[in-house]
Amino acid sequence: MAEKKQMHLTAFMRPVSLHTGAWRYPGSYADANFNFAHLTSFIQKLEQAKFDAFFMADHLAVLNMPVEALKRSQTVTSFEPFTLLSALSVVTERIGLAATASTTYDEAYHIARRFASLDHLSNGRAGWNIVTTGNPESAKNFNLDEHVEHSERYKRAREFYDVVTGLWDSFADDAFIRDQESGIFMDPDKMHVLNHRGNELKVRGPLNVARPVQGWPVIVQAGQSEPGRQLAAETAEAVFCSPKNIQGAKELYEDIKSRATAAGRNRDHLKILPAAMIIVGDSVEDAQQKRLKLDSLVHYDSAIASLSIALGTDASGFDPDGPLPTELLETNASKTARESVLKLAAEEKLTVRQLAQRYGGYAGLAFVGTPESIADEMETWLKEGACDGYTCVFPYLPQGLNDVADRLVPELQRRGLFRKDYTGTTLREHLGLPRPENRFFPSKQTNGGAA
């Protein structure tokens, strides 16, 4: 009997929740933004449930919203994710740790160093979510008046990836000898000076961190725009995306996998993990009631502010009870977010108010039901080639997370779709990804295929 295709599960986190009404939900930890004990309890619960990875979302600015929305937002401040994940590496042993870092507003040498360090600290559990930073407010915190243009950001991201991975390959895995007798600490023939001089970046190297435990931390990406898909196909090993339904997911899955093949990669070495908010109830109706209650906690001003960010234009002047104006300004805001809003509005014929409240809470794919009904949906998607697993979004914390860990995961395990225990120690091993060859110091034997 052939083993069933296995599902990967990662957690897509903000300390209080991605859903903007969540901090008001009964029993939620409203103070989780700076409460390390709460975050420890979340990640340890996910590790007990054998999740592949814990991924912390990020912004490089206080999001631009009207003051009435700002004062109701739980997202204004929180731990910087990288600092947080370094600390969480100490209270966990197996679960992967993925953080976002921007190729637009940071330096390749810094990013290569920090992720390599996190990989060493965690014994091979680091993942780098490459983002180009779609929030136009960020530019103003980094010496610019205008946001960097979309295609320009992607050009830089591609070169940035080459530099960071090149820096990770600065040393052969066996470069450090540390022979106390002879006094030889390192074999200089096993050190490579990158000397990168490209269109966007000049970085000499070598990195002052030994090669990461995983060779390279796992490369993660989101983004569904044309350059986003292409960048993912060429570089990413785990992609989180936001299809609205199984048909859209299948198209996206095939498109990105085909692009990966066209780029000369093994399509199995790129895992596609749609983001889905999961709400578990005792019955389907019970779960739906929970969602309604949660959405009702989103204030309209916050909702319209989120919609404005996604559209890249101020939506607060639109008629709340009319449809979305058909002609919207072209902007440099993230195309993925913008297109997804326009699609949602068109498909479900939503008014501005409905769209805003839906979008202001959590607009993406949601699995809402019993452990069995949700497992059915997740199994169907997996079997029909719509995904390799899921990027799980929890509606409120801790209960929404506990429901997934305690009720849904055992059902997935019972069906043979998800591991009952970790079989490896690194994030690459959890995801079934090969350890990349060092491009400058290839091993004598082949390791069974390139990344």
Site for a second copy in 236-295 (CB under 8 A): none
Report the residue number, 212 or 274, with the smaller CB distance to a second copy.
212
How many residues bind a second copy (CB under 8 A)? The answer is 73
Q: Is 188 in the site for a second copy (CB under 8 A)?
A: yes
The strand pair at 184-186 and 176-179 is best described as antiparallel
Q: Is 13 in the site for a second copy (CB under 8 A)?
A: no
To a second copy, the closest distance from the beta carbon of 417 in angstroms equals: 34
Q: Which stretch binds a second copy (CB under 8 A): 44-52, 74-82, 215-223, 355-363?
A: 74-82
Alpha carbon distance 315, 337 (integer Å):
15
For 18, 33, 164, 232, the CA distances from 237, given in Å and listed in that order, are 23, 29, 15, 8
Alpha carbon distance 82, 62 (integer Å):
17
Alpha carbon distance 415, 433 (integer Å):
23
Report the residue number, 131 or 276, with the smaller CB distance to a second copy.
131
Report the residue number, 97 or 219, with the smaller CB distance to a second copy.
97
Residues numbered 46 to 65 that lie near a second copy (CB under 8 A) are: 59-62
Residues numbered 337 to 366 that lie near a second copy (CB under 8 A) are: none
- 237: exposed, middle or buried (Cβ count in 10 Å: 0-12, 13-18, 19+): buried
Alpha carbon distance 249, 390 (integer Å):
11
Residues numbered 24 to 43 that lie near a second copy (CB under 8 A) are: 24, 28, 30-31, 33-34, 36
Question: Residues 373, 288: contact at Cβ < 8 Å?
Answer: no
SS3 339: helix
Report the residue number, 8 or 114, with the smaller CB distance to a second copy.
114
- Beta strands in 316-444, from DSSP E residues, in sequence order: 366-369, 389-393
> Which DSSP symbol is given to 408?
I
Question: Residues 450, 268: contact at Cβ < 8 Å?
Answer: no
Q: Is 296 in the site for a second copy (CB under 8 A)?
A: no
Phi-psi sector, 450: left (phi>0), alpha (psi -120 to 50), beta: beta
Alpha carbon distance 383, 438 (integer Å):
34
Report the residue number, 72 or 291, with the smaller CB distance to a second copy.
72
**Alpha-carbon torsion 371, 17, 129, 251, what sign?**
positive
Report the residue number, 210 or 341, with the smaller CB distance to a second copy.
210
To a second copy, the closest distance from the beta carbon of 122 in angstroms equals: 9
SS3 404: helix
Residues numbered 203 to 232 that lie near a second copy (CB under 8 A) are: 203-210
Q: Which stretch binds a second copy (CB under 8 A): 115-123, 149-157, 280-288, 437-445?
A: 115-123
To a second copy, the closest distance from the beta carbon of 109 in angstroms equals: 4
Q: Is 300 in the site for a second copy (CB under 8 A)?
A: no
Of 4, 5, 202, 414, the one binding a second copy by CB under 8 A = 202
Of 48, 93, 174, 185, the one binding a second copy by CB under 8 A = 185
Report the residue number, 56 or 277, with the smaller CB distance to a second copy.
56
Residues numbered 83 to 102 that lie near a second copy (CB under 8 A) are: 83-84, 86-87, 89-91
- 179: exposed, middle or buried (Cβ count in 10 Å: 0-12, 13-18, 19+): exposed
> Which DSSP symbol is given to 242?
-
Counting Cα atoms < 13 Å in the Cβ hemisphere of 168 gives 29
Token reading at 217: 């931390």
To a second copy, the closest distance from the beta carbon of 114 in angstroms equals: 5
To a second copy, the closest distance from the beta carbon of 110 in angstroms equals: 7
Q: Which stretch binds a second copy (CB under 8 A): 108-116, 318-326, 369-377, 384-392?
A: 108-116
Q: Is 141 in the site for a second copy (CB under 8 A)?
A: yes
Of 4, 5, 110, 343, the one binding a second copy by CB under 8 A = 110
Report the residue number, 12 or 105, with the smaller CB distance to a second copy.
105
